[in-house]
């Protein structure tokens, strides 16, 4: 795609701090990092979202993610990683080229888990149960969970779309 920023980076038409590349993928540091070493891995095949990525480009992309994660582990020794994709504008995707964020995480860094990104289950018709209706092992949880029946209903709906 001629005007795509990440395609331009992949073609070396636009500068970036490249940390890894091969014939299929390119990884570079995010210019708005959430942590030291925050990298993005992109396929050299232009696709806006995961659903647009040709099947043959999927494995090389995630092999690149694994390689970059290992490089960051060896270089920075983080305590963990948050790895994710903003898929579509509603999720915060700012560049219309699929990219996988690899964010090194450190104990006490102030970040949360992937579950802290969004909390709209109740707004989508899922009624959260009060904590006191949970089994004793779940009462310690700080989050309310949708009832099992709602999860089963959602799972059935998703399976029908296969």
Q: Which residues are catalytic?
A: 99
Q: Are strands 25-29 and 80-84 parallel, antiparallel or unpaired?
A: unpaired
Which of 47, 60, 51 has its CA nearest to residue 99?
47
Token pair for residue 24?
């299929």
Q: How far is residue 69's CA from residue 80's CA, in Å, rounded to a whole number? A: 10
Q: How many CB atoms lie within 10 A of CB 35?
A: 19
């Amino acid at each position: 795609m001629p005007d795509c920023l990440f395609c331009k980076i992949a073609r070396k038409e636009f500068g970036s701090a490249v940390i890894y590349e091969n014939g299929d993928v390119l990884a570079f540091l995010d210019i708005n990092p959430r942590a030291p070493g925050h990298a993005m891995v992109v396929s050299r095949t232009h696709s806006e979202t995961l659903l647009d990525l040709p099947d043959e480009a999927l494995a090389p992309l995630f092999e690149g993610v694994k390689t970059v994660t290992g490089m960051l582990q060896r270089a920075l020794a983080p305590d963990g990683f948050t790895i994710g994709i903003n898929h579509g504008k509603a999720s915060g995707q700012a560049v219309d080229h699929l990219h996988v964020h690899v964010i090194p995480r450190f104990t006490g860094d102030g970040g949360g888990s992937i579950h802290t990104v969004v909390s709209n289950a109740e707004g989508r018709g899922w009624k959260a149960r009060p904590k006191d209706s949970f089994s004793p092992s779940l009462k310690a949880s700080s989050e309310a969970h949708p009832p099992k029946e709602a999860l089963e209903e959602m799972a059935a709906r998703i399976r029908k779309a296969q």
